[in-house]
Amino acid sequence: MGILAGPSCVGKSPLWKSIQRFHPELSQDTRPLVLYNSREPRPGELDGVDYHFRSTDQILDLDGDDNFVVMNVRGDTQAIDIPQLGRDLSQGDVIFEGNPFVAEVLLSHPALEAIDRLSVFMSPLARKEILFLQSRPAVCMPDLVTDVMRRKLLRRTRRHKGELSLPDLENIETRASSAYTELRKAHRFQYVIPNHDGEDSENWDAFYYPLGDARLALAAFAALLAGDAAEGVETWEESLLP
């Protein structure tokens, strides 16, 4: 089972789409994990393909069922159907591409204990950058990470919607302010891929092939999926982000 997690807009979705486009041999027999989600679909998202889009109340009703794990994720209510995941895994490989809160469940749930998992965290900052910034007395790391992701989220949402409404801005702030907490979970993953080209970056799809950090992230993730040594990947210690 593959797990690709990280903050909202860090570049997980375009990375997986690039794997499917340029390395189909690594993805053609892999099913996506389809979660239940209370948020509205983004442009191009389909019910039952990207998520099972349901109301908050409908998903909360699943909370008393032992077959489901229900959680609040950045203001959205999400749920995992554990038996369905088991059935999917019995038929082949499964990829989860999404937030670290769901990823934590996939890494720790007793029903998945015997499953082989490749866990990768995608970070907007590299380990050396974090250590450098932490040495600067004027830098507040939670505020800096929030601002880094806020700018990415603003650019992505403007690209999707043009003019932004107050609910759009509130959603962006919720997601951006969650990013530092999510980065603090990165040490639980086998590998960390630093990537400055978030989902807002044209480096993923404006040219024939990804460029910049998008290209490096694609090469690293493809190598990990193939079981090969990957350049540029990191492992983080728990004490990196207090």
Q: Where are the domains of the chain?
A: 2-38+82-237
Residue 241 has pLDDT above 90, yes or no: yes
- Mean of all residue pLDDT scores within the chain: 94
Query: What is the average per-residue pLDDT within 72-79?
Result: 91
pLDDT at 160: 85
User: 44: pLDDT confidence band, cut at 50, 70 and 90?
Assistant: confident
Residue with tokens 């830098």: 139
pLDDT at 202: 96
**Which tens digit of pLDDT belongs to each residue from 195-210?**
999 999 999 999 999 9
User: 42: pLDDT confidence band, cut at 50, 70 and 90?
Assistant: confident
For residue 12, what are its two tokens?
């997980």
Query: What is the average per-residue pLDDT within 56-60?
Result: 94
127 vs 63, residue with greater confidence? 127
- The three-class DSSP label of residue 142 is helix
Count CA atoms closer than 13 A to 133's CA, side-chain side.
15
pLDDT at 100: 95
Which among 154, 147, 161, 143 is positioned nearest to 199, based on CA atoms?
154
Residue 29 has pLDDT above 90, yes or no: no
Which among 79, 133, 95, 97 is positioned nearest to 7, based on CA atoms?
97
Strands, DSSP E only, in the chain?
2-5, 30-32, 35-37, 51-53, 68-73, 76-81, 93-98, 118-123, 191-194
**Which tens digit of pLDDT belongs to each residue from 118-167?**
999 999 999 999 999 999 999 999 999 999 999 999 999 998 888 899 99
User: 48: pLDDT confidence band, cut at 50, 70 and 90?
Assistant: confident
Q: Could you tell me whether strands 76-81 and 35-37 are parallel, antiparallel, or unpaired per DSSP bridges? A: antiparallel
Residue 75 has pLDDT above 90, yes or no: no
Q: How many CB atoms lie within 10 A of CB 238?
A: 11
Residue 81 has pLDDT above 90, yes or no: yes
pLDDT at 49: 86
